[in-house]
């Protein structure tokens, strides 16, 4: 390595000060970023301490009294234990569905886009499928709720179709029935994000050398062998990175969407850790218990990223770090 020499004599003490004074302009440029992350990202991490405290607004995060792991014990076996375990289970089930049904769609889309040789058709279909990504969660869920509601005067078009097929009793709204929530949530996610998520796979496919395809053709391979032996290995690094990121975000993504789509009647299938955390923490003011859920959530998410990254580094030599 070229820089190893420089790094070996790391400056310390007075030397650091001297270097900073010499390049003070550079540190002035860095300062806003450091301050922003210190105040808005790292300082709240200290606030996680209230997970171990009895939060008293009068004394704040730092002044409140330590209570050990009371909040956690309360969570898993106290008054809210049914709700907590229900949210815990739902979080994993919804994430798993998302991984199984949602994750492959953008990959398939990218494979299909790569086949479209007509420029106009490709531009049009890409433009159309990326669009929902840029609309807000409120807009997308708003349209969705309108399409599936059942009312006195009229019903949304999807609800009407279900009623005509005899799958839904008239007057009953799909949004009030627990068994519709998960499919609805997954489909909304596919609608909103799969086009946009296909971009990165499409780029990976475009980056594969054409000579590999030609070589396979000379050997008499057909289209399906081509995908199996050239395209997939070619996009494998991208795929692995995306899986790691997806698993790492498993517990955190999409709570805004849940919040906008669910209601008190369907908590049994719809309530997830983040929405539970919002209700118990912010809405009911149980900050200590809420922060216990926060810490729990953040730690599992972090462990998932590290786990996925380690596994992928060992089996495929592709990793985030």
Partner 1 sequence: MERLDKSEKIFKVCSYTLVIVFALLALYPILYAFSVSISGKVAYESGQIVLLPKDVTLQAYDMVLHDKGFWIAYTNTLFYTVMGTAWSMAISLTGAYALQKTKLLFRRQFNFLLVFTMWFSAGMIPLYLNYKNLGVDNRWGMVIAFGVQAYNIILLRNYFSSIPREIEEAAIVDGANEFQLFGKVYIPMSTASIATVTLFYAISRWNGYYWSRMLLSDPYEQPLQVYLRQLIENYQKLYDESPVNLTYSADSLAYAIIICSIIPVLVIYPYIQKYFAKGVNMGGVKG
Kindly identify the residues of this chain, within the stretch 29-68, that bind partner 1 according to CB under 8 A: 29-30, 32-34, 36-37, 39-48, 50, 60-61
| Closer CB to partner 1, 99 or 259, in the complex | 259
Q: Least separation, in Å, of the C-beta of 282 and partner 1?
A: 6
| Closer CB to partner 1, 94 or 204, in the complex | 204
Tokens of 34: 């450091």
Whole-angstrom Cα distance, residue 208 to residue 214?
12
Instruction: Return the C-alpha torsion angle 158, 191, 293, 282, nearest 10.
Output: -70
Whole-angstrom Cα distance, residue 179 to residue 165?
17
Q: Least separation, in Å, of the C-beta of 284 and partner 1?
A: 11
User: 296-304: long-range contacts (C-beta < 8 A, 24 or more apart)?
Assistant: 296/72, 296/75, 297/251, 297/252, 297/273, 298/48, 300/251, 301/248, 301/249, 301/250, 301/251, 301/252, 302/248, 304/247, 304/248, 304/250, 304/251
- The interface with partner 1 within residues 143-182 (CB under 8 A) comprises 143-147, 151, 153-154, 156-157, 160
- Binding partner 1 (rule: CB under 8 A), the pick from 99, 259, 300, 311 is 259
Q: Least separation, in Å, of the C-beta of 59 and partner 1?
A: 12
Binding residues for partner 1, rule CB under 8 A, total 97
Q: Least separation, in Å, of the C-beta of 10 and partner 1?
A: 9
- Contact letters for partner 1, residues 102-141 (x by CB under 8 A): -------x-xxx-xx-x--x--xx-xxxxxx-xxxxxx--
228 lines the binding site for partner 1 (CB under 8 A): no
Planar angle of CA 253, 257, 260, nearest 5 degrees = 150
- The interface with partner 1 within residues 236-255 (CB under 8 A) comprises 241, 245, 248, 252
Per CB under 8 A, the segment of 16-24, 73-81, 167-175, 177-185 that binds partner 1 is: 16-24
| Closer CB to partner 1, 94 or 205, in the complex | 205
Tokens of 264: 């008190």
142 lines the binding site for partner 1 (CB under 8 A): yes
| Closer CB to partner 1, 68 or 224, in the complex | 224
Whole-angstrom Cα distance, residue 21 to residue 15?
10
- Binding partner 1 (rule: CB under 8 A), the pick from 100, 172, 203, 215 is 203
Whole-angstrom Cα distance, residue 213 to residue 191?
32
Of residues 80, 112, 133, 118, the one with CA closest to residue 290? 80
Q: Least separation, in Å, of the C-beta of 2 and partner 1?
A: 10
- The interface with partner 1 within residues 290-319 (CB under 8 A) comprises 290-291, 293-295, 297-298, 301-302, 305
Query: What are the CA-CA distances from residue 235 to residues 4, 21, 202, 231, 315 (Å)?
Result: 33, 47, 9, 6, 16
Per CB under 8 A, the segment of 18-26, 82-90, 92-100, 177-185 that binds partner 1 is: 18-26
216 lines the binding site for partner 1 (CB under 8 A): no
- The interface with partner 1 within residues 70-99 (CB under 8 A) comprises none
Whole-angstrom Cα distance, residue 106 to residue 214?
26
Tokens of 144: 């969705």
| Closer CB to partner 1, 102 or 248, in the complex | 248
């Amino acid at each position: 390595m070229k820089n190893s020499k420089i790094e070996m004599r790391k400056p310390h003490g007075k030397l650091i000060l001297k270097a900073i004074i010499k390049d003070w302009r550079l540190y002035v440029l860095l300062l806003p970023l450091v301050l922003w992350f210190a105040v808005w990202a790292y300082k709240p991490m200290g606030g996680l301490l209230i997970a171990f405290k009895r939060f008293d607004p009068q004394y704040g995060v730092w002044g409140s009294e330590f209570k050990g792991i009371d909040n956690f014990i309360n969570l898993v076996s106290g008054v809210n234990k049914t709700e907590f375990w229900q949210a815990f289970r739902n979080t994993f089930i919804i994430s798993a569905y998302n991984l199984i049904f949602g994750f492959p769609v953008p990959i398939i889309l990218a494979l299909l886009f790569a086949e479209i040789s007509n420029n106009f058709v490709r531009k049009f279909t890409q433009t159309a499928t990326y669009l929902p990504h840029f609309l807000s969660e409120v807009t997308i869920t708003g349209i969705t709720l309108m399409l599936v509601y059942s009312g006195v005067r009229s019903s949304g078009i999807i609800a009407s179709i279900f009623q005509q097929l005899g799958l839904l009793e008239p007057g009953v709204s799909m949004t009030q029935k627990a068994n519709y929530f998960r499919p609805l949530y997954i489909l909304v996610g596919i609608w909103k994000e799969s086009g946009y998520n296909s971009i990165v796979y499409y780029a990976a496919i475009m980056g594969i050398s054409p000579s590999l395809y030609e070589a396979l053709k000379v050997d008499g391979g057909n289209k399906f062998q081509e995908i199996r032996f050239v395209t997939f290995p070619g996009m494998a690094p991208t795929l692995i990175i995306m899986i790691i990121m997806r698993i790492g975000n498993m517990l955190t993504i999409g709570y805004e969407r849940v919040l906008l789509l669910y209601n008190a009647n369907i908590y049994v299938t719809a309530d997830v850790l983040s929405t539970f955390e919002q209700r118990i923490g912010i809405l009911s003011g149980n900050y200590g218990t809420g922060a216990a859920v926060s810490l729990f959530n953040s730690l599992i998410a972090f462990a998932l990223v590290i786990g996925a990254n380690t596994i992928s580094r060992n089996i495929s030599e592709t990793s985030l770090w």
